[in-house]
């Protein structure tokens, strides 16, 4: 059964206790604007208490992107306080994905950049097709990842590799993502979502209280020493870069489809 939570968020309920949550903004490569994030938050809050749902598969509409990041055009004119609110909203979606009593799976084909990689990293695990592209390119826009990316990428691949990826902003494909340990294996593009549904349904057949007990236990570490204590610090550092010459130049250059020329401090 398909439900529209809003024009931007769709819900496909499969028989198996699996729900596909679809970011539906393909004309902007599913870029995460405030409306998309609010739609995701509302949908996840509803699904958290829905006893018929066991596994949530997060995906993007269209073939080109999971999500090409936070909406740069929307962020371009934000001041510090708006940017802090925006970052807090993105964090709240990611923390829901990470902590809710359901298994959350990111199904990535095409671009998962910036906030897209960050949403994927917040899911319990990532399934990716051979056409997936990951990356945290924010420093090329004069800012830093603002939805927990630096923290969760370092957790997933180790601090040194995460630093190289964040400081370079380089994109990497699914073969490299597998080498880095971000995904377990690369799935073929043909029939990708059929395979995702199969794997999600397999998990949904297991005992939900047992899976939830395992997830709760594995997340306890995060509450004490992982992502949670660093959220406010990231929001502060992310938002403090808004209004600077480099943020204006980086995001302006994207909108004008040209290379950025940074001026520094
Ligand atoms: N925000 C807003 N619009 C975006 C977008 C984004 N992140 N990504 C793509 N789009 C829009 C493009 O502007 C374009 O719109 P128009 O047709 O109106 O010009 C449309 O989507 C299609 O994109 P392209 O024409 O650019 O497609 P392409 O195939 O040539 O390139 C791409 C694809 C390499 C992904 C390129 O779109 C791109 O570099 N996007 C930005 C990626 C990025 O920097 N993401 C990080 C955002 S910052 C962030 O996420 C901060 C955070 O942590 C909170």
pLDDT tens digits for 32-48? 999 999 999 999 999 99
Quote the number of domains for the chain. Answer: 1
Query: Does residue 11 belong to any structural domain of this protein?
Result: yes
Residues with CB under 6 A from ligand 1: 28-29, 31, 68-73, 90, 111, 113-115, 118, 137-138, 141, 145-147, 149
3-class SS at 195? helix
Q: How far is ligand 1, taken at its centre, from the CA of residue 138, in Å?
A: 12
Question: What is the pLDDT at residue 6?
Answer: 75
Q: How far is ligand 1, taken at its centre, from the CA of residue 200, in Å?
A: 29
Query: Does residue 29 belong to any structural domain of this protein?
Result: yes
Pick the closest to residue 70 from 123, 33, 45 (CA basis). 33
Query: Does residue 111 belong to any structural domain of this protein?
Result: yes
The pTM of the full predicted model, rounded to 2 decimals, is 0.96
* Domain assignment of residue 101, given as a range: 2-191
Query: Does residue 238 belong to any structural domain of this protein?
Result: no
3-class SS at 59? strand
Measured CA to CA, the distance from residue 36 to residue 29 in angstroms comes to 12
CA-proximal residue: ligand 1, atom 2 (nearest): 71
Query: Does residue 228 belong to any structural domain of this protein?
Result: no
Mean pLDDT to the nearest integer, 104-111? 98
Measured CA to CA, the distance from residue 26 to residue 46 in angstroms comes to 24
pLDDT at 265 over 70: no
Measured CA to CA, the distance from residue 102 to residue 163 in angstroms comes to 31
Query: Does residue 213 belong to any structural domain of this protein?
Result: no
Q: Which residues contact 104 (CB under 8 A, 6 or more apart)?
A: 55, 56, 58, 97, 98, 122, 123, 124
Q: How far is ligand 1, taken at its centre, from the CA of residue 110, in Å?
A: 12
pLDDT at 83 over 80: yes
Contacts for 208-212: CB closer than 8 Å, 24+ residues apart = 208/54, 211/54, 211/103, 212/101
CA-proximal residue: ligand 1, atom 54 (nearest): 146
3-class SS at 213? helix
Query: Does residue 75 belong to any structural domain of this protein?
Result: yes
CA-proximal residue: ligand 1, atom 8 (nearest): 68
Q: Which residues are catalytic?
A: 118, 138
Confidence of residue 5 (pLDDT cuts 50, 70, 90): low
CB 103 within 8 A of CB 211: yes
Cα 204 to chain centroid distance, Å, stands at: 22
CATH code of the domain covering residue 142: 3.90.226.10
Q: Which residues contact 30 (CB under 8 A, 6 or more apart)?
A: 23, 24, 36, 60, 61, 62, 65, 66, 67, 68, 116
Query: Does residue 94 belong to any structural domain of this protein?
Result: yes
pLDDT at 85 over 80: yes
Q: How far is ligand 1, taken at its centre, from the CA of residue 197, in Å?
A: 28
Count Cβ atoms below 10 Å from residue 82 Cβ, excluding itself.
Answer: 15
For residue 96, CA distances in Å to 40, 108, 109 come to 10, 19, 22
Question: What is the pLDDT at residue 1?
Answer: 53
The pLDDT tens digits of the residues spanning 58-78 come to: 999 999 999 999 999 999 999
Mean pLDDT to the nearest integer, 215-241? 86
Question: What is the pLDDT at residue 3?
Answer: 62
pLDDT at 106 over 90: yes
CB 58 within 8 A of CB 106: yes
């Amino acid at each position: 059964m398909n439900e529209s939570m809003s024009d931007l968020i769709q819900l496909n309920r499969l028989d198996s206790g699996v729900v596909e949550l679809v970011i539906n903004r393909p004309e902007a490569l599913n870029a995460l604007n405030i409306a998309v994030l609010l739609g995701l938050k509302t949908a996840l809050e509803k699904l958290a208490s829905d006893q018929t749902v066991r596994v949530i598969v997060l995906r993007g509409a269209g073939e080109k992107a999971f999500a090409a990041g936070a909406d740069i055009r929307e962020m371009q004119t934000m001041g510090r306080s708006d940017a802090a609110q925006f970052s807090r909203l993105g964090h709240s979606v990611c923390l829901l994905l990470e902590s809710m009593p359901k298994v959350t799976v990111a199904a990535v084909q095409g671009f998962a950049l910036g906030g897209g990689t960050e949403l994927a990293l917040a899911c319990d695990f990532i399934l990716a097709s051979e056409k997936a592209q990951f990356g945290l390119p924010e420093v090329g826009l004069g800012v830093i990842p603002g939805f927990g990316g630096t923290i969760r990428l370092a957790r997933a691949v180790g601090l040194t590799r995460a630093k190289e990826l964040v400081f370079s902003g380089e994109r990497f494909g699914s073969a490299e993502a597998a080498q880095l340990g971000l995904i377990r294996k690369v799935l073929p593009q043909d029939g990708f979502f059929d395979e995702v549904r199969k794997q999600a349904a397999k998990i949904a057949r297991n005992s939900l209280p047992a899976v939830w007990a395992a997830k709760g236990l594995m997340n306890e570490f995060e509450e004490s020493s992982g992502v949670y204590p660093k959220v406010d610090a990231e929001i502060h550092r992310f938002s403090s870069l808004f209004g600077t010459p480099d943020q204006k130049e980086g995001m302006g250059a994207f909108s004008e489809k040209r290379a950025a020329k940074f001026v520094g401090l």
